[in-house]
Chains A and B, each alone.
Chain A
Amino acid sequence: MSIGIRAAIGLNRVAGKVIYNRLRLVSFISPIILLLVWAWVTHLQLISPQLLASPLQILDSFQELVASGDLQEHLLKSLSRLVFGYSIGAFAGLLFGILMALSKNVEDYFHPLFQAVRQVPIIALIPIFILLLGIDEIFKIAIVINAAFLAVALASYEATKGVPKPYFEVAQAYQLPTLTVYRKLVIPAILPPVLTGLRIAFARSWTILVASELLVADSGIGQMMQMGRDMFRLDIVLVGVVLTGAIGFTIDRLFKWGEANLIPWRVA
C-alpha cells in the first residue's frame, strides 16, 4: 500500500522504476553512522566513559556476558515469558475480538468496558498487577498477556467489523454453511489487518515485558539492565538496550515476512 502512495506522490523513483519496500544495503547506512558518531563521542570523551562506553567496550561486555552464560539465561527467561504470555494473550484476543464483532450480545456487554480499559497505559496497571499477583513469574506473564490481548482484540474486532457486507450477501445467496463462512470468508478477509495487529501487539508485549522486568524481577533482560545500573555498569545496560532493539527488530521482520507469504492475493 505504502508503495502506491509513494508512487502517487512521486517519491522513490529511480530511473522510472519504483523501489520496493525491502531491506537493502542503504538501510545499513543510518545505523553505521549512529555507531560512528557513538564511537567518535566516546573517543573524544565528550561524555564520561563511565556513563557512555564505546561500541567496542559494549562488544567486550557482550562477549563477557555470553562467556559467563548469564546473558543466555536472562534472554531465555525473557523470551519464554514473552512467548508464553504472548501466545495466550494473542489467541484469546483474537477469539474475543472476532466474537465481539460478530455477536451483538457480546458487543453490547463488553465493548464499552473494552474501549475504556484499552485507554489505560499498561505501565499504569503494573502497581495493580503487583498487588494482585505479587512479583513472581505470574505477574510478568500477566502483563504480557494483557498487552497482547488488548492489541490483538482491537485489531481483530476492527478487522471483522470491516469485512465488506456484500461478501456476506454472497454467503447468504449460496447458503454457505457457518463453518465455510468462517474458513472462506471471515478468516481470509481479516487476515491482513489481524497480522498487522499481531505484529504491533508483539512490539507492545516485548517493550512492556522489558519494562516490568526493570521494575521487579529476579531474572530476564530487563533485570540484567537494572542490575547493571545498580552496579554502575552502564555497559551492561547498553548491551541490554541494543539487544532489546535487535530482538524486537528481528521478530518484527519475521512477522512481515509471514504477512507477505500468507497473503498471496494481496495486490503488490
Chain B
Amino acid sequence: MSSSNTVLDFRKSAITRGNVFEGNSVPELHAKPVALKIESVAKSYALSGSELKVLEAINLDVQSGEFISIVGASGCGKSTLLRLIAGLDIGYEGAIVYQGKRIEGTDLSRGIVFQEHRLFPWLTVEANILLAFASTNVPKAERKERVKAQIELVGLTGFEHAYPHQISGGMSQRVAIARALVLRPQLLLLDEPFAALDALTRLKLQQELERLWEHEGLTTILVTHDVEEAVFLGDRVVVMQSHPGRIKRIVPVRLARPRIRSNPDFQCIKEDLLTDFV
C-alpha cells in the first residue's frame, strides 16, 4: 500500500477530529499532483438571527485525474461545498486551493453541471454550447468545430438546431455536459446531474460520463445522493454527514472499470456505504 503524505495528513486530521476512518481504507494513490486542496473549510449562514453552520472542518485533497463522488443526505452541505469549489459562492472560511491560489470566483478551467440543465430556452443546442466561449479568445471557426465535435461526443448530432423544449430531459442534460466540456476544463464539477432523470436514462448517462471522463482525463467531483452512482463512478467516495455538514469518512473504490453493478465487491462497497444512511 502506497500513500502520499497528503493522504496521511488527511488521515491524521480525520482521526484527531474523532471521525470514523477505517485504517485499511486509505486510498491507493500514485504520485499524482494535487488538483484541488480543501483545507479546514467552514461555511455558515445567518438564519433569523442565529448562525447556521452548513459546513465544518472540510479537508480533502483531490488528485489530478481523480473521480471523486460525494454522497450525503439532503441538507448535508454537499451542494454548498461544490458551489464553493466552483467559485459561485466565495463567502467561506478556510481555503480551497486550486492551481496554487485560493478560489475567489469562477474560472473557465472549472466546468460545472447543475441538477437542472439550465440551458437558455431561447438558444438552440448549438448556440447554448457556443455561449460557453463568450469570454474566451478562441477564433470563431474553431469554436464551431469544437461545438460540433462536442455535440458528436455526447451523441446529439442532428439536434444542433433544436430548442431545449424540443428535446428530452436526458438530452438536455447531455447538452449541459457538452457545454461544460467544450472549454476543456481541468476540473469538472457535477451537482446531482442525473437526479431529475428517469432511471434508465440515468444509467445510460452514468456510462457516458465515465467514457467522457476517461476520454478527457478530467479531474471530476460528482455530488450525488445515489450511493450506487457514487460507487459506479468514483475512485473515492466521500461520505458527508449533516448538522453541521462534515466529512464522515472516505471510501476508496478499487474496482476495475467499467464497473459491474452485480459484482459482489461492488455490492459489498455499496452495502457498506448504505450503513451510513440507514
User: In the complex the two chains form, is B163's CB within 8 Å of A174's CB?
Assistant: no
0/1 per residue, B114-150, Cβ < 8 Å to A?
A: 1010101111000000011011000000000000000
User: In the complex the two chains form, is A174's CB within 8 Å of B132's CB?
Assistant: yes
Q: Interface with B: A102-110, A176-184, A246-254, which one?
A: A176-184
Residues of A with C-beta under 8 A to B12: none
* Minimum CB distance partner of B122 in chain A: A188
User: In the complex the two chains form, is A173's CB within 8 Å of B86's CB?
Assistant: yes
Number of interface residues of B (CB under 8 A): 20
0/1 per residue, B91-120, Cβ < 8 Å to A?
A: 000000000000000101001101010101
User: In the complex the two chains form, is B88's CB within 8 Å of A173's CB?
Assistant: yes
| Residue A170 interfacial (CB < 8 Å) | yes
User: In the complex the two chains form, is B121's CB within 8 Å of A166's CB?
Assistant: no
0/1 per residue, A225-268, Cβ < 8 Å to B?
A: 00000000000000000000000000000000000000111010
Residues of A with C-beta under 8 A to B108: 174-175
| Residue B243 interfacial (CB < 8 Å) | no
Contact partner of A180 (CB less than 8 A), chosen from B118, B121, B134, B164, is B134
Chain A nearest CB from B4 CB (Å) reads: 31
User: In the complex the two chains form, is B165's CB within 8 Å of A174's CB?
Assistant: no
* Minimum CB distance partner of A263 in chain B: B122
Interface residues of chain B: helix, strand, loop or mixed (majority): loop
User: In the complex the two chains form, is B135's CB within 8 Å of A176's CB?
Assistant: yes
Q: How large is the interface on A (under 10, 10 to 19, 20 to 34, 35 or more residues)?
A: 20 to 34
User: In the complex the two chains form, is A169's CB within 8 Å of B135's CB?
Assistant: no
Residues of B with C-beta under 8 A to A185: 120
A244–B112 Cα distance when bound, in Å, is: 55
User: In the complex the two chains form, is A175's CB within 8 Å of B118's CB?
Assistant: no
User: In the complex the two chains form, is B163's CB within 8 Å of A176's CB?
Assistant: no
A36–B220 Cα distance when bound, in Å, is: 74
A146–B121 Cα distance when bound, in Å, is: 33
Q: Which of B116, B118, B122, B164 has the most CB of A within 10 A?
A: B122
User: In the complex the two chains form, is A188's CB within 8 Å of B120's CB?
Assistant: yes
Contact partner of B106 (CB less than 8 A), chosen from A167, A175, A264, is A175
Residues of B with C-beta under 8 A to A169: 88, 114, 118
Given known A169-B88, A176-B134, contact A265–B121 (CB-CB < 8 A)? yes
User: In the complex the two chains form, is B163's CB within 8 Å of A265's CB?
Assistant: yes
* Minimum CB distance partner of A268 in chain B: B165
0/1 per residue, A167-203, Cβ < 8 Å to B?
A: 1011011111100100011001101000000000000
Chain A nearest CB from B174 CB (Å) reads: 16
Residues of B with C-beta under 8 A to A264: 163
Residues of B with C-beta under 8 A to A172: 88, 106
Given known A184-B123, A265-B121, contact A174–B134 (CB-CB < 8 A)? yes
Given known A169-B88, A172-B106, A184-B123, contact A177–B135 (CB-CB < 8 A)? yes
User: In the complex the two chains form, is B135's CB within 8 Å of A265's CB?
Assistant: no
* Minimum CB distance partner of A169 in chain B: B88
User: In the complex the two chains form, is A175's CB within 8 Å of B135's CB?
Assistant: yes
* Minimum CB distance partner of B86 in chain A: A173
0/1 per residue, B59-73, Cβ < 8 Å to A?
A: 000000000000000
A166–B119 Cα distance when bound, in Å, is: 10
A74–B242 Cα distance when bound, in Å, is: 74
A184–B121 Cα distance when bound, in Å, is: 11
Chain B nearest CB from A30 CB (Å) reads: 35
Residues of B with C-beta under 8 A to A174: 106, 108, 131-132, 134-135
B residues in contact (CB < 8 Å) with A: 86, 88, 106, 108, 111-112, 114, 116, 118, 120-123, 131-132, 134-135, 163-165
> Given A173-B88, A174-B108, 20 other A-B contacts at CB below 8 A?
A166-B114, A173-B112, A174-B106, A174-B132, A174-B134, A175-B106, A176-B131, A176-B134, A184-B120, A184-B131, A184-B134, A188-B122, A188-B123, A189-B122, A191-B122, A263-B122, A265-B123, A265-B163, A265-B164, A267-B165
A residues in contact (CB < 8 Å) with B: 166-167, 169-170, 172-177, 180, 184-185, 188-189, 191, 263-265, 267
Q: In the A-B complex, list the 4 residue pairs whose CB atoms are closest, starting with the nearest.
A: A188-B122, A175-B135, A265-B122, A180-B134
